[in-house]
Structure 1
Amino acid sequence: MRLAELSKRSGVPIATIKYYLREGLLAPGRQINARTAEYDEEHLRRLRVVRALVQIGRLPVATAREVLGHIDDDSLGRTVRMGAALWALPQVPDPDGEDEFVERARAEVERMLERLGWSNAQALSTISPAYRSLVTGLAAFRRLGYDWDIELTVPYARLMHQVAVLDLDFVETHASEAERVEVAVLGTVLLEPVLSALRRVAQEEESARRYGFE
């Protein structure tokens, strides 16, 4: 297909497609002559992925390029490949300094991982952005005077493990390694807002059940 048809089928303006090509988010088409290239279904699929990351997930172009680079890197094993792609996504800032709240939160997270038996998560704790985000969030909560301890954190973690099982069960329904990593990233970018919204809807439902509408 030519560029105009690619634009029509994808819903992405021609100027935007050209920008994605220049930025390396989309592979060049097959050159027919000096001014014309031809694109295929793989270009269309990748363009939809790019659009989801940039327009819906609101990733900066440089971040999207890094994420896509990890998705395409078949020299890595699945766990490393998936981790690299997910870790390239925007993260909560690292803990601000090493005050008592950060230290207590880190100790609490370590106790939680030990109780859950999550030895792999413990092994990744020094490099995992998710681990640092967890410490940052718990430290901020404690700094505000809320005593969120391990007895409250563990039940949430167990529920999140069930979500992770569902996530990876879905990932494994896809054939190629690139598709599996791609859908894991898209699931994070596109489904996290859905999961957050479901939590809020559930809170509204439970609040109404407990307290009514007064």
Structure 2
Amino acid sequence: MRIGELSRRTGVPVATIKYYLREGLLPPGESTGRNQAVYDDGHARRLRLARALITVGGLSVVAAREVLEALAVPDRSTYGALAVAHKSVTRHDPDPAVPEEARQRAAERVRRLIADRGWELPHDHPAARTLTDTLATMEHLGNGSFAARLDRFAAASEQIAAADVDCVDEIRDSPEEMAETMIVGTVLGDTALSALRRLAQQDAARRRFAPASRPGPAAGPDLPQKPEGPDRTAVARPEAVRPDVDPTDNG
């Protein structure tokens, strides 16, 4: 298919496809002449994935390219692809205003957490650095309530991770699809889990903090009756107008 058909099939504008080609997110098509190329279903699949990683997953172009390159490596294991994805998507800029002492305390807290949970991880895992900097920043802000419940959050995260791996384990017959599923579940799953957390958080806050609604008084003979006649306080509503009728047409 030519680039116009690729655009129609995927819903990605031609200008965006050309940009992804220049940035290496999409491999070149098969050249058929000067400034002419054709693309196949593999291009369409990768284009949709690149678009999703950037628009929904919130990755930068550079991070998305690294993730896609990890998936393109022949015989790359699911675990290896995930390691590359974690390195690409887990990026942060530590706040220089946070005292080093707070950062050291946070790092020790993270080390103890990993050891206590029995997690076997690379010592320099990027997510461990992110968690360290986040806890240190919270301490710097005088908020230690999250850190005090870190074990509870870790236990919930283990359940989420197990569900992630279950999704991948369903497709053992295709290593390529396993790696892609793990990547998509990691990147787009972060967005979905953030949304789920906010929904559950709103409901939990309502249950604990929102005032209980009071039922209105029941109608009975001892209540004042509504006076007969038109309600002078009501706002008059205009008659509904059919969209295919001109209201100024009087006949």
Normalising by structure 2, we get a TM-score of 0.75
Q: Which amino acid aligns with 1:28?
A: P
Moved more, 95-104 or 199-208: 95-104
2:141 to 141, 144, 151: 144
Are positions 1:168 and 2:144 aligned together? Answer: no
Contact 1:71 1:178 in 2 (8 A): yes
Q: Which residue of 2 is the match for residue 106 of structure 1?
A: 107
Q: Which residue of 2 is the match for residue 206 of structure 1?
A: 204
Contact 2:54 2:60 in 1 (8 A): yes
Deviations 1:58-92 (A, max 9, x none): 32222221221112123544322210122111523
Greater than 6 Å deviation, 4+ residue runs: none
Moved more, 73-82 or 11-20: 73-82
Q: Return 5+ residue gaps in structure 2 as ranges.
A: 213-251
Write the distance in 2 (CA, Å) between the matches of 1:77 and 1:100: 39
Give SS of 1:37's match.
strand
Write the distance in 1 (CA, Å) between the matches of 2:114 and 2:95: 19
Contact 1:4 1:14 in 2 (8 A): yes
Deviations 1:151-207 (A, max 9, x none): 621121011011001111112333433322222222222221221121121122122
Q: Return 5+ residue gaps in structure 1 as ranges.
A: none
Are positions 1:153 and 2:150 aligned together? Answer: yes
Contact 1:3 1:39 in 2 (8 A): yes
Write the distance in 2 (CA, Å) between the matches of 1:95 and 1:184: 31
Contact 1:111 1:150 in 2 (8 A): no
Over aligned residue pairs, what C-alpha RMSD do you find?
2.3
Residues 154/90 of structure 1: CA separation in 2 closer, same or farther (3 Å cut): closer
Identity %: 39
Give SS of 2:149's match.
helix
Q: Which amino acid aligns with 1:91?
A: R
- Report how many aligned residue pairs link the two structures: 210
Q: Which has the higher helix share?
A: 1
